[in-house]
Chains A and B, each alone.
Chain A
């Protein structure tokens, strides 16, 4: 039974993540009075890219070739290392919050190196901006997870998901603050508004798209699939939402093994993800992209919100 659940856990992330992007695009299109593409369009795009030939720059080294595989595998690994729809599983080996933060950093590291490797001006600047933002987002990221960790007295994410912290009135306010702080980090790390515009190819606004400009075919499919990408931030977005929704509202996780509870868990999980996606789509439709040098202020706000949240826990 546990093995089946584990396998569902591993497969669920790459399977559902394109749907998230499809739903976001659909909601955005509707809000703009367009009909929009089907919510399954991202799957078709991936399928198409996977069957295309590739062109690789002659300046590229093995770093460029290996980066998509590493970036994608990391998102798979993280997707499997965080609680998605069950809470009775335990993972004392890779379920630590710091491990997840720094494993995500491996993805960023290779993504940025891949952007630098081909020697185009776009790739270099994309990498520079990406590293700037991710360096500044790190403080808020660790702090928002730390708030929850301190309330629960453990940094293991599975153990955190087991406790129903939200129900304790005393921790309500710090949790809400950390929740807000995490939302800011989520938008930064998944390259959504107001950090990056997932619908433009203009070099002045590009961050993620600039880095993967030289990728094509399967590698592009992997890169796109593995998120870190402005248009279809699939896995990472999914992971962030999962982290966010499950960590902060661990209601509806399957507490005991069993077919019914597990399927209930998955359904509730999907509903939670849908709510998160809805929020992102609404945010994107209602605000403009910020100027690059105003973004640090936003990330600093996230950091401070979380620091206050930690200060309030007693």
Chain B
């Protein structure tokens, strides 16, 4: 049975489900309702098939490499290689796409009559198809085709809500950054081709010894930039907080939960598999990028009051945390400590899975809220917990998971990451040791700041009194949206409670890497009780924690509510108002909440404050009529990174322009010189 499910035929059925979903929804574009149902039905069916396929592959460890003939070009071959790492990422995309598609059935309705639903379904299915190709392609050029399908489809979905000029701008920023990334990836692949003579990943891997070390380092840097743009590492992240808010929410969930992980996937594949053995500084660079991205990501998230931008910055933070795991895995593998590399890699893989789950949950929750409120500005929310109780509950679970609070899944992967970094501190020497100390510090502060950020987010969205009249018209979302969110919330709970069982499956994936095969049988002992790291006596159990917490809660509630004083009355009154009537303007805003942290980190965040006062009498300037204060955060990357590059390119172009004088004789001279040069070089 498993043989059949993991066969190439089964994989093509998977691809064709999405393909049929895409084409069919385009054909049905005249009727909004049927296009919506068709596209999401096939996306759901495809995701279910993908789940089955990937789980069967992981359990049976049945990897498949196969080739489809019919390539028109000699260098392009449609070759697939589905190993356990691919299967794991197929599992993530299928899982998230399943619940996003269920959610989309209800969510897309608010676009009816406004935009073309068929086109959305078309791009949506092609987007997932593109990701599947990226994950399974085993040929550089074929990989790039998948990469482009994924990028272009997501670009069209970013600009889907095209009436808003901001969205179109964000879409173009995304497109430009994507192509910069792709250019670097192409450079990396071309260099590999130059020295090894093949675009095929398997051939490249076997011939990697042919690479001179200089070229290898350039390939590393090019791949790091190319895939780093997609993953959203700082400072290449600028497209991410712009594009994620612009896309429809279930697309944001997929982009943030899965698409940016394709960058991580390729980094794992290239650095830990294909290009092995690697110099140690690669790992150090990745670890430093992880430190910077995690810390800055959460700091920028704190400054945001746009709910989806806030979530987008948290994606950067979590990519940073994943890179902390991956970076230490690279360092340990260069130092030939495969056991520790294995531990770090498992931490990174687990966090990849967990982040996909809780981040898509949060994006879907944000989408439900935005759908009712018609704004992304959190300052205009407030008190939504009374109008959207279920959404609030699911968002609370997502917030707790992303803040790494036990017993939800985020805690366990951060725990593993912490433990692997601790191992680094305990074992390594001098400067490397300090690097790991820094990494632990970054992770610790990131955890604390993320907690503050989600108190702010949950508090200003759902708690206190409504800050606009729009809130009082808000209604709970339709059932399909609630099912999508509820299932993800359930998953983020289950993956926490059953973290040890999950990790034992992830260990299998870690072991499938060639460099990690020579390790002792058990590093992580994941038994039914909990996670445990063999050589450091660290252990933790989500289930016990949950049971004791629930037990304590029940005992306390019984003692307090039933035994101590049963005759106690509860009166409902007004909040203490110091004698003046409370109005929503007296509540703390999300900007106000985070202001003290922003001020503390003003050296990094460069906050700006601008006062505008309009006087009743411009002569005397004593009686202001209106007073406006605008707070902002300086765009450090634009002014110190992108602007200088832009200036450089512009001035270079101006120089180059000089050779174009418009004089035909000069052009003839150029042709002559070019001819002579090429002649000499040939001879």
Binding site for B on A (CB under 8 A): 50-59, 61-63, 69-70, 72-74, 76-77, 80, 92-94, 96, 98-99, 102-103, 105-106, 108-109, 112-113, 116-122, 124-125, 127-129, 131-132, 134-139, 141-143, 146, 149-150, 153-156, 159, 213-214, 217-218, 222, 292-293, 296, 303, 307, 310-311
- With contacts A51-B568, A77-B548 taken as known, whether A116 is within 8 angstroms of B464 at the C-beta atoms is yes
Contacts of A121 in B (CB 8 A): 586-588
Identify the closest chain B residue to A296 (Cβ). Answer: B600
B179 → A minimal CB distance (Å): 38
- With contacts A63-B463, A92-B539 taken as known, whether A218 is within 8 angstroms of B574 at the C-beta atoms is no
Contacts of B447 in A (CB 8 A): 102, 105, 138
CA distance A231 to B452 in the complex (A): 24
Whether B593 contacts A124 by the Cβ 8 Å rule is yes
Contacts of B281 in A (CB 8 A): none
Contacts of B474 in A (CB 8 A): none
B494 → A minimal CB distance (Å): 19
CA distance A303 to B403 in the complex (A): 21
Q: Which 6 A-B pairs have the closest CB atoms?
A: A124-B588, A138-B448, A119-B464, A135-B448, A116-B459, A131-B452
- With contacts A63-B385, A74-B549, A125-B588 taken as known, whether A55 is within 8 angstroms of B538 at the C-beta atoms is no
Q: Does B270 contact A (CB under 8 A)?
A: no
- With contacts A124-B464, A131-B452 taken as known, whether A53 is within 8 angstroms of B575 at the C-beta atoms is no
Which stretch from B214-222, B228-236, B351-359, B434-442 is at the chain A interface?
Answer: B434-442
Q: Does B25 contact A (CB under 8 A)?
A: no
- Chain A interface, >50% SS class: helix
Whether A53 contacts B434 by the Cβ 8 Å rule is no
Whether A93 contacts B541 by the Cβ 8 Å rule is yes
Q: Does B540 contact A (CB under 8 A)?
A: yes
Contacts of B437 in A (CB 8 A): 307, 310-311
Whether A116 contacts B548 by the Cβ 8 Å rule is no
Whether B568 contacts A54 by the Cβ 8 Å rule is yes
B228 → A minimal CB distance (Å): 26
CA distance A118 to B584 in the complex (A): 11
- With contacts A103-B545, A311-B433 taken as known, whether A139 is within 8 angstroms of B588 at the C-beta atoms is no
Contacts of A92 in B (CB 8 A): 529-530, 532, 537, 539, 541
Contacts of A311 in B (CB 8 A): 433-434, 437
14 A-B residue pairs with CB within 8 Å: A55-B573, A61-B385, A63-B385, A73-B552, A92-B539, A94-B541, A98-B540, A109-B405, A112-B455, A117-B463, A120-B582, A146-B440, A218-B561, A311-B437
- Interface residues in B626-651 by Cβ distance below 8 A to A read none
Whether A222 contacts B539 by the Cβ 8 Å rule is no
Whether A153 contacts B548 by the Cβ 8 Å rule is no
Whether B600 contacts A116 by the Cβ 8 Å rule is no
- With contacts A50-B560, A99-B540 taken as known, whether A117 is within 8 angstroms of B422 at the C-beta atoms is no
Whether A218 contacts B565 by the Cβ 8 Å rule is yes
Contacts of B599 in A (CB 8 A): 293
Q: Does B451 contact A (CB under 8 A)?
A: yes
Whether B538 contacts A155 by the Cβ 8 Å rule is yes
Contacts of B458 in A (CB 8 A): 113
- Interface residues in B521-570 by Cβ distance below 8 A to A read 529-530, 532, 536-541, 544-545, 548-549, 552-553, 556-557, 560-561, 564-565, 568-570
Contacts of B549 in A (CB 8 A): 73-74, 77
Whether B575 contacts A119 by the Cβ 8 Å rule is yes
Whether B403 contacts A118 by the Cβ 8 Å rule is no
- With contacts A98-B540, A132-B597, A135-B448 taken as known, whether A120 is within 8 angstroms of B426 at the C-beta atoms is no
Task: Encode contact with A along B354-398: 1 for CB under 8 Å, 0 otherwise.
Answer: 000000000000000000000000000011011000000000100
Whether A59 contacts B400 by the Cβ 8 Å rule is no
Identify the closest chain A residue to B458 (Cβ). Answer: A113
CA distance A120 to B426 in the complex (A): 48
Q: Does B291 contact A (CB under 8 A)?
A: no
Q: Does B243 contact A (CB under 8 A)?
A: no
Identify the closest chain A residue to B464 (Cβ). Answer: A119
Contacts of B561 in A (CB 8 A): 218
Beyond contacts A69-B560, A311-B437: 11 other A-B pairs, Cβ-Cβ < 8 A, are A73-B549, A93-B539, A116-B463, A119-B586, A124-B464, A128-B596, A129-B596, A132-B600, A139-B444, A146-B422, A218-B568
- With contacts A59-B383, A63-B385 taken as known, whether A116 is within 8 angstroms of B553 at the C-beta atoms is no
CA distance A52 to B572 in the complex (A): 15
Q: Does B106 contact A (CB under 8 A)?
A: no
CA distance A7 to B568 in the complex (A): 30
Q: Does B321 contact A (CB under 8 A)?
A: no
Contacts of A74 in B (CB 8 A): 549, 552
CA distance A69 to B554 in the complex (A): 9
CA distance A57 to B440 in the complex (A): 42
Residue of B452, B592, B594 most packed against chain A (CB within 10 A): B452
Contact partner of B464 among A59, A93, A131, A218, CB < 8 A?
A59
Identify the closest chain B residue to A141 (Cβ). Answer: B444
Whether B452 contacts A159 by the Cβ 8 Å rule is no
Contacts of A143 in B (CB 8 A): 440-441, 444
Contacts of B433 in A (CB 8 A): 311
Whether A102 contacts B541 by the Cβ 8 Å rule is no
Contact partner of B545 among A99, A124, A125, A159, CB < 8 A?
A99
CA distance A222 to B555 in the complex (A): 13
Contacts of B41 in A (CB 8 A): none
CA distance A14 to B529 in the complex (A): 28
Whether B571 contacts A55 by the Cβ 8 Å rule is yes
Whether B556 contacts A69 by the Cβ 8 Å rule is yes
Contacts of A159 in B (CB 8 A): 537
Identify the closest chain A residue to B447 (Cβ). Answer: A138
Whether B451 contacts A105 by the Cβ 8 Å rule is yes
Residue of B433, B445, B561 most packed against chain A (CB within 10 A): B445
A103 → B minimal CB distance (Å): 6
Whether A57 contacts B569 by the Cβ 8 Å rule is no
Whether A137 contacts B448 by the Cβ 8 Å rule is yes
Contacts of B571 in A (CB 8 A): 53-56
Contacts of A122 in B (CB 8 A): 576
CA distance A58 to B576 in the complex (A): 11
CA distance A136 to B396 in the complex (A): 23
A202 → B minimal CB distance (Å): 13
CA distance A134 to B445 in the complex (A): 10
Whether A139 contacts B465 by the Cβ 8 Å rule is no
Contacts of A52 in B (CB 8 A): 568
Whether A94 contacts B448 by the Cβ 8 Å rule is no
Residue of A50, A99, A296 most packed against chain B (CB within 10 A): A99
Whether B538 contacts A131 by the Cβ 8 Å rule is no
Q: Does B577 contact A (CB under 8 A)?
A: yes
CA distance A73 to B540 in the complex (A): 19
B243 → A minimal CB distance (Å): 28
Which stretch from B133-141, B180-188, B200-208, B411-419 is at the chain A interface?
Answer: B411-419
CA distance A164 to B404 in the complex (A): 32
Contacts of A149 in B (CB 8 A): 422
- With contacts A94-B548, A213-B576, A307-B441 taken as known, whether A59 is within 8 angstroms of B411 at the C-beta atoms is no
Contacts of B434 in A (CB 8 A): 311
Whether A154 contacts B538 by the Cβ 8 Å rule is yes
CA distance A117 to B451 in the complex (A): 17
Identify the closest chain A residue to B573 (Cβ). Answer: A55
Q: Does B339 contact A (CB under 8 A)?
A: no
Contact partner of B538 among A69, A96, A127, A135, CB < 8 A?
A96
Whether A128 contacts B464 by the Cβ 8 Å rule is no
- With contacts A56-B570, A73-B556, A77-B548 taken as known, whether A93 is within 8 angstroms of B403 at the C-beta atoms is no
Whether B448 contacts A134 by the Cβ 8 Å rule is yes
Contacts of B441 in A (CB 8 A): 139, 143, 303, 307
Contacts of A137 in B (CB 8 A): 448
Contacts of B553 in A (CB 8 A): 69-70, 73
CA distance A150 to B539 in the complex (A): 15
CA distance A303 to B445 in the complex (A): 10
- With contacts A58-B573, A125-B588 taken as known, whether A76 is within 8 angstroms of B538 at the C-beta atoms is no
CA distance A70 to B553 in the complex (A): 7
Contacts of A58 in B (CB 8 A): 572-575
Whether B422 contacts A54 by the Cβ 8 Å rule is no
